[in-house]
Amino acid sequence: MIKNICCIGAGYVGGPTMAVIAQKCPHIKVTVVDLNENRIAAWNDADVENIPIYEPGLSTVVAEARGRNLFFSTDVDKAIDEADMIFISVNTPTKTYGVGKGMAADLKYIELCARQIARVAKNDKIVVEKSTLPVRTASAIKEILEHTGNGVQFQILSNPEFLAEGTAIADLFAPDRVLIGGDTTVEGQKAIQTLVDVYAHWVPKDKILTTNVWSSELSKLTANAFLAQRVSSINSLSELCEKTGADVNEVAKAIGLDSRIGSKFLKASVGFGGSCFQKDILNLVYIAKSYGLHEVADYWEQVIIMNDHQKRRFATNIIKTLYNTVSGKNITFLGWAFKKDTNDTRESAAIYVADDLLSEQAIIRVYDPKVSEDQIQYDLNYLATRSSVQNAQGVQVLQDPYEACKDAHAIAVLTEWDEFKTYDWQRIYDGMLKPAFVFDGRNLLNRSELEAIGFTYYAIGN
C-alpha cells in the first residue's frame, strides 16, 4: 500500500490533483515539489486564498489537507527519496527550437525529472506520467531510469489527467473515468493495481479503466483532439450561420439533441484557448507525420487552422465594422482568461485578438475579474517578442469594468465570465462613445436587451 506520494510540478494539474488525493486519502503523505520558489511560497501562503491557482473549491480542499498530509516544497530530492510513488506533472510545451519546432512536445522537463529520479532513488518506485505525453514516451523514461539509476526497480505507469480548468475540483471529485496504463507483465499489473487502490478511495471501480501504456498515452491526445475538433466544427459553421441567417445556438441545440452527437462542447466562440488543445493536436500531427501518415496529420491540423481563422476573423470583423479603421480607437476587452472561472491565460484568444487590433493601432483596455495586471503585461510582452507589435504598452488594465468601458468605441467580450451578464448595460452605454458597439465572442449577452438600449450588437454565429 502506498504511504508516501511525491508529485513533481506544482502547476494547474499537479496542485489540484494532489490536493484532492491528499484530501481523499488522509493516510497518504503527499508532497508536491517544484523548482519555482515563488509558486511553492504561494501554495504555502498562510492565507489560503493566495494560492497561485484560482479554481472554484480548490482553496477549501487545500485548507483541509495542507499541513496534515499535503505539503508543498522546493526540496525535490528529499521528496523523491521518501516517496513510494512519484507523479511527473511538469509542463510539456510545444518545442520552440530544433527538430519538430512548433509541433512536437518539448520533453526536456520530463527527461530532467527522469534523470533526477534515477539519481536520487535508493529503493523501488512507481513512476506515474501525469503530464500529457507523446505515445511511447514511457519507453524513453524507462531507459533513462534503467541506465542511469542505482539498480533499483521502476515501474512506469501512464495516468493522464482529464480535468478542465474552472471545473478542476468537480472533475477530480467525480471524474468520467480515471485511465491507468501499465506494462502487461506481472510487475506492471501489480503497479497498476497499486494506483487503482489510491483512486478507489473515492472513484467507483467501474470508472477506473486500465489499459496498456501506449493506449493510455494516446487516449489523452485523442480526447483533447476530439474535444477541440468539436469546437472547431461548430466554429466553422458559425461563419456560415452569419452568411445565411441561421443562428448557431439554434443549430447547436438542434444537433445536440441527437444522442449520438450530444449537447456538450458545441458552444461557438472566438476560438478555443488554453495550454493544451493546440499543443496536443500539434503533437498528434507531428507523431502522425513522423510515421508517414500525412492524411491523418492533415486531417487534425485543420482543427488548428480553423481555430486560428476564427480568432483572426473576430478581429477583422471588429476592424471592418468600425469603418475599416481602429487606429486611435478605444476598444475594451471584457475578459482575458481563456475561459471563465480560471486565472489562466495561456493561448487565450484574447491575446491573439489584441495582437491583430494593436497592429492596427487600436488602444486596448482590459478588465478581467481574476487575471492580474502583471499576467496581462506578461502575455503582451510575450506577444511583442513574436510579432511585429511594439506598442503593447498602449494596453491599459483596469480594476473596474465600468471605468474600463468609459469612452470606449467598442467592447469585445473575450471570456464568458458570468458577472458580465449582470452588469448595468444602460450605464455602460451611457459612458461610451456613440455609436456604441459590442462584439460578443462568447454569445454571452442578450441581443434584444442590448439592441433596445441602443448598442450595435454582433455575436459569433448569429
Catalytic residue set: 276
Shortest Å, Cβ 307 to ligand UGA: 9
Total residues contacting ligand NAD by CB under 6 A comes to 27
Cβ closest to ligand NAD, residue 34 vs residue 356: 34
Work out whether 266 is an interface residue with ligand UGA (CB under 6 A).
Answer: yes
Q: Which C-beta is closer to ligand NAD: that of 275 or that of 330?
A: 275
CB of 227 to ligand UGA, least distance (A): 5
Residue 296, judged by CB atoms within 10 A of its CB (0-12, 13-18, 19+), counts as middle
- 58 in Cβ contact with 343 (< 8 Å): no
273 in contact with ligand UGA (CB under 6 A): yes
Nearest distance from C-beta of residue 302 to ligand UGA, angstroms: 17
| Residue 266 contact partner, candidates ligand UGA, ligand NAD, none, CB within 5 to 8 A by sort of partner | ligand UGA
* Secondary structure (DSSP) of 51-98: SS---TTHHHHHHHHBTTTEEEES-HHHHHHH-SEEEE----PBP-SS
Nearest to 20 by CA among 81, 87, 82, 79: 87
Smaller CB separation from ligand NAD, 109 or 202:
109
DSSP H or E segment with residue 410: strand 410-413
The CB-of-288 to ligand NAD minimum distance in angstroms stands at 18
**Nearest-CB residue for ligand NAD:** 11
Contact mark string toward ligand UGA, 169..208, x via CB under 6 A: ----------------------------------------
Contact 461, 248 (CB under 8 A): yes
**Burial letters 11-39, b for 16+ CB under 10 A, else e:** bbbbbbbbbbbbbbbeebbbbbbbeeeeb
374 exposed, middle or buried (CB, 10 Å; 0-12, 13-18, 19+)?
A: exposed
Q: Are strands 85-88 and 70-73 parallel, antiparallel or unpaired?
A: unpaired
Nearest 10 degrees: Cα torsion 38, 39, 41, 44: 170
By CB under 6 A, what part of segment 75-104 binds ligand NAD?
Answer: 76, 89-92
String of contacts with ligand UGA for each residue 279-318, x by CB under 6 A: ----------------------------------------
Per-residue binding letters, 112-151, with ligand UGA (x by CB under 6 A): --------------------x-------------------
Q: Could you say which residues in the range 152-171 bind ligand NAD, by CB under 6 A?
A: 161, 163, 165
Closest distance of CB 248 from ligand NAD, Å? 26
- When asked if residue 276 is in the footprint of ligand NAD (CB under 6 A), the reply is yes
Radius of gyration for the chain, computed over Cα atoms and rounded to the nearest angstrom = 23
Stretch that binds ligand UGA, among 75-83, 182-190, 224-232, 429-437 (CB under 6 A): 224-232
> What sign has the CA pseudo-torsion 189, 190, 194, 197?
positive
Q: 366 and 333 in contact (C-beta within 8 Å)?
A: yes
Does position 112 interact with ligand NAD (CB under 6 A)? The reply is yes
The residue among 56, 450, 448, 462 whose CA lies nearest residue 267 is: 462
d(CA 270, CA 307): 8
What separation in angstroms does the CA of 282 have from each of 90, 134, 228, 298, 435? Answer: 18, 11, 12, 11, 42
Stretch that binds ligand UGA, among 69-77, 243-251, 271-279, 426-434 (CB under 6 A): 271-279
* Residues in contact with ligand UGA by the rule CB under 6 A: 132, 161-165, 224, 227, 231, 265-267, 269, 272-274, 276-277, 338-339
* Residues in contact with ligand NAD by the rule CB under 6 A: 8-14, 33-36, 39, 76, 89-92, 109, 112-113, 131-132, 161, 163, 165, 275-276
